[in-house]
Every structure is written in C-alpha cells, then in structure tokens.
Amino acid sequence: MGEVTITAADGGAFSAYVAKPASLPAPGVVVIQEIFGVNAVMRGVCDDLAAQGYVAVCPDLFWRQEPGIQLTDKTQDEWNRAFALMKGMDQDKAVDDLKATLAWLRGSQDCTGKVGTVGYCLGGRLAFMMAMRSDADCNVSYYGVGLDALLGEAGNITRPLLMHVAEKDKFATPEVLQTLTAGLSGNPNVALHVYAGADHAFARPGGEHYDKAAADLANGRTSAFFKQHLG
C-alpha cells in the first residue's frame, strides 16, 4: 500500500493511492472517489479489492483545485467543502485523469493489462462516463448522480457496465430513476439493479444511510462481475 504519481494528459501530475494483492501480476481496478477525496473509505475500498486479488488505484481527482483532500461525512463543514469541490470540478478533465490512471495501471508490470473501474456517488457518475468514453474492460457505478443528463452518450457503452441504484436516493427523483432505466433498458452491455428502500450512499460503511443488506448484495454482485470480466 502506498502512493504513486501519475502524469496528466494536459500536463501536471497527481497522486494516487495504490493497494496490491499478494500475487502479481493481477488484474487492475481504478477506484473513483466520492466527493470527500481519497479518504479512509476510498483507501479501504482499494485495500479490500487488493485482498480479492486486484491491483487497486484511487487517483486524487481534486488535485486541480487542492491536492490531498481527505474529508469525512461527519460534519457540516466537511459536507460544505465537499460540495464546493464537486461544483468546482471540471468533470471532463476528471475523466481524462481517470483515463491516464487507466493507462498507467495497464502499463504497470504489476498488472495483467485487464482493468476495470468502480465509482461511488460523484465517482459513480464518473464511472458511468468512463463506460461511455474510455476503453476500460468493465465499469461499476454505485448511485451515480445526474446520470439521466448523460443518456445522450449511452450508445457509446460497448463494454460491460454494472449499475447499483438506490430506489430512495435523495439526490434523484423517481422520475429520474424511471428515465435512467428506460434509457438504458435496450443496451445488452448494461446490468442495472435497483435497491428497494435504499438511500444514497447505502454502501458507505459508517455512513448515515448505510444499509448492510443492500451493501452486501451490491458488493457481492460487483465481486462476481469483476471475476467474470477481469479474471
């Protein structure tokens, strides 16, 4: 476990947390942060993926505003800071940084060359964008925000995409969920699961809306998905 530096496509460089399995080389997973930065929760996701046999890399996507951000979901001040950072993010450039991370991981001697992504919240949106704009072998989106506005690009999804959607997501109306499911229903590459009664961030350990049953089900599906498409 440690940090590496990755060069951005448009110049500059950003840090990324890396967790490696005991046996190398291994398939890779790019872990895409929530609005709180590369914090303990995201590092924990990487560590868990490493324990499952993947090289997991979580890049700092706030580096263009302020590198090294690590917030929690425990105070209002941190929430305010997190939302400000999200609003200040150029998401197109964030996708470029994720593609740079993907290329870095594929080129690593520790990686077999097969690489997927998984993202949560803001990262869930960016994972959805990676499914449409990158050549990642597969992608997983947990309760991505504002996905209905991106459906115009959905025809570009040509590789497996697994989506975990909260039925009671406080950031998405039922109409948004209906639009999203209808817009993706004809794409054979997309598997979308709706978690009844679950709210946004139902899979964040220790979070206000953590739902163990829903999280365990979603995480089990993610594990099987990665084994199928990256193994």
- Active site residue ranges: 169, 200
Amino acid of residue 115: V
Altogether, the residues listed in the chain come to a count of 231
Angle at 142 between CA 139 and CA 144, to 5 degrees: 95
Q: Which two tokens stand for residue 211?
A: 């739902």
Q: From CA 101, how far away is CA 122, in angstroms rounded? A: 17
Q: From CA 133, how far away is CA 157, in angstroms rounded? A: 8
Residue 161 gets the label, from left (phi > 0), alpha (psi -120 to 50) or beta, of beta
Q: From CA 73, how far away is CA 91, in angstroms rounded? A: 22
Where do the DSSP E strands lie in 24-173?
Answer: 26-32, 55-59, 111-120, 138-142, 161-166
